[in-house]
Amino acid sequence: MLARAGHEVTVLEAAEDPGPVGAGIWLQALGQQVLDAIGLLEPLRAVSRPVARVDAVTVGGRQVMDFGYADVPGAVPAIGVHRGVLFTLLWEALAGSTARIATGVDVTGVRPTPGGASVETTSGAVGPFDLVIGADGSRSVVRESMRVAVRDHGYSYGALWALVDDPEGLAADVLYQCLDGTSRYLGVLPTGEQQASIFWSVRGADMRAVRGRGMDAWRQEAAPFVGERYAPLLDEVDQLLEAHYRDVVVRTPYRVRDGAGAVLIGDAAHAMSPQLGAGTSLALADAASLCHFLASAPDLETALAQHTASRRAHVRWYSWWTRLMMPVFQSDLHPIALPRDLLAGPVGSHPWVRTQMVKQLGGGQTGLVRRWQLPG
Ligand SMILES: Cc1cc2nc3c(=O)[nH]c(=O)nc-3n(C[C@H](O)[C@H](O)[C@H](O)COP(=O)(O)OP(=O)(O)OC[C@H]3O[C@@H](n4cnc5c(N)ncnc54)[C@H](O)[C@@H]3O)c2cc1C
């Protein structure tokens, strides 16, 4: 976006040979809107699958959630896509722009230098630049070097995941979740045309033990969670990979000195658990917002201040929601499971609640009623 707006852009990426890796993600309406603005939504739709419904049950068969985007007129279904497919689309667009790309560059921080802000890497300093954008994820080293106030804590629960072939389309257009208390759940996410992602909620400290017991032992444990419908997908799992979640909030994610600066976007500025599938949409929204204010504000400091102010309520709302949902679905707070299982079904069948669930999932809310507007 910045390169298209005429800026001279240099991208420093740690991966030597960035490629399509990772599990499926659930991309909500807001993220789709940003991709549409840069001409990538249609190519993405061609290689992904709509996720039109959420179906959550307990392992004992009680319905906990069952709602669809079609319940709300005008709601845009999410897209189930392999993270690598989205990555490849973005990477190709970047390669086709005027941006200079340097891969295999391990950034260690950013610091003010005469004439701008320099990026420090394990192979020397790069720059100076007018602006350094730290988009280096939840464990951002750029953030660390900026010495901004951060709340950063890792959750005790995460997920083991696998990407499996789904030639029969068993995952269809449904995000399926099967819960056992708050300590175990299995999720199935349609991922692209003939694939599905399987998520198995587990304490981070137990992941190694679960993997160590082997695939057969895990399949046996997971079998009651999938029912007949998804059983063939379990057979496809040949390894489980670890995903850990963090909760990161940076109050003021930028610094400006002598007309040059650094700013954090995406997970570097606000990582959260993936309960609502909001992270990618928020990261894309950050990018769109930053570009807008860099173009419209009279100077860098004003642009960064306006961008930060514009993003604050939106990010806070989704951080708050995911923080609230984590103990309800993935925690050692076992007593909460029973009221959740008893109440979620009846409460969730109320039209207002269903509407709220779909609206909140879309990724664009800053409250129950108010929405964040993509600037520009
Ligand atoms: C298990 C799991 C499931 C998720 N599911 C969803 C979902 O369904 N929907 C959704 O919207 N979001 C989901 N998320 C969240 C989503 O993945 C993130 O919000 C999103 O990827 C953030 O994008 P980002 O560009 O800020 O950071 P990242 O995607 O983490 O990208 C950071 C980039 O910086 C590079 N980098 C890192 N460190 C350095 C360094 N020192 N030097 C140079 N380069 C560096 C990395 O190689 C990478 O390319 C999920 C997250 C997890 C963990």
Q: How far is the CA of 350 from the centre of ligand 1 (A)?
A: 35
Q: How far is the CA of 266 from the centre of ligand 1 (A)?
A: 8
Residue span of the structural domain in which 142 resides: 10-52+79-154+246-331
Q: Does residue 137 have its Cβ closer than 6 Å to ligand 1?
A: yes
pLDDT, residue 274, reads: 92
CA distances from 273 to 157, 226, 245, 255, 280 (A): 10, 23, 5, 26, 12
Kindly report the average pLDDT of the chain as a whole number: 95
Q: Does residue 14 have its Cβ closer than 6 Å to ligand 1?
A: yes
- Distance, in Å, from the CA atom of 51 to the CA atom of 70, rounded to the nearest integer, reads 11
| Nearest protein CA to atom 1 of ligand 1, as residue | 243
pLDDT, residue 246, reads: 95
User: In this predicted model, what pLDDT tens digit does every residue of 248-271 receive, in sequence order?
Assistant: 999 999 999 999 999 999 999 999
Q: Does residue 192 have its Cβ closer than 6 Å to ligand 1?
A: no
| Nearest protein CA to atom 36 of ligand 1, as residue | 136
Q: How far is the CA of 286 from the centre of ligand 1 (A)?
A: 14
Q: Does residue 283 have its Cβ closer than 6 Å to ligand 1?
A: yes
The mean pLDDT value for 143-168 works out to 95
Examine residue 354 and state whether it is found in any structural domain, yes or no: no
CA distances from 278 to 32, 93, 111, 267, 323 (A): 11, 23, 31, 11, 13
- Cis status of the peptide bond prior to 339, with omega within 30 of 0: no
Examine residue 304 and state whether it is found in any structural domain, yes or no: yes
The mean pLDDT value for 276-300 works out to 97
Share of the chain above pLDDT 90, in %: 93
- Please report, for the domain that includes residue 268, its CATH number: 3.50.50.60
Q: How confident is the model at residue 357 (pLDDT cuts 50, 70, 90)?
A: very high
pLDDT, residue 20, reads: 67
The mean pLDDT value for 238-257 works out to 95
Residue to mutate, 13, 88, 101, 289, ligand 1, most ligand atoms under 8 Å from C-beta = 13
Share of the chain above pLDDT 70, in %: 99
pLDDT, residue 375, reads: 82
Examine residue 48 and state whether it is found in any structural domain, yes or no: yes
Examine residue 211 and state whether it is found in any structural domain, yes or no: no
| Nearest protein CA to atom 29 of ligand 1, as residue | 137
Examine residue 187 and state whether it is found in any structural domain, yes or no: no
pLDDT, residue 374, reads: 86
Q: Does residue 160 have its Cβ closer than 6 Å to ligand 1?
A: no
Q: Taking CA 340 as the corner, what is the angle to CA 338 and CA 345, rounded to the nearest 5 degrees?
A: 115
The number of distinct structural domains making up the chain is 1
Check whether 239 has a pLDDT greater than 70. yes
Count CA atoms within 13 Å of residue 222 on its CB side: 31
Examine residue 118 and state whether it is found in any structural domain, yes or no: yes
Examine residue 25 and state whether it is found in any structural domain, yes or no: yes
| Nearest protein CA to atom 21 of ligand 1, as residue | 280
Q: How far is the CA of 274 from the centre of ligand 1 (A)?
A: 11
Residue to mutate, 11, 12, 16, 25, ligand 1, most ligand atoms under 8 Å from C-beta = 25
Examine residue 294 and state whether it is found in any structural domain, yes or no: yes
User: In this predicted model, what pLDDT tens digit does every residue of 290-346 receive, in sequence order?
Assistant: 999 999 999 999 999 999 999 999 999 999 999 999 999 999 999 999 999 999 999
User: In this predicted model, what pLDDT tens digit does every residue of 11-56 receive, in sequence order?
Assistant: 999 998 877 678 899 999 999 999 999 999 999 999 999 999 999 9
Q: Does residue 280 have its Cβ closer than 6 Å to ligand 1?
A: yes
| Nearest protein CA to atom 33 of ligand 1, as residue | 136
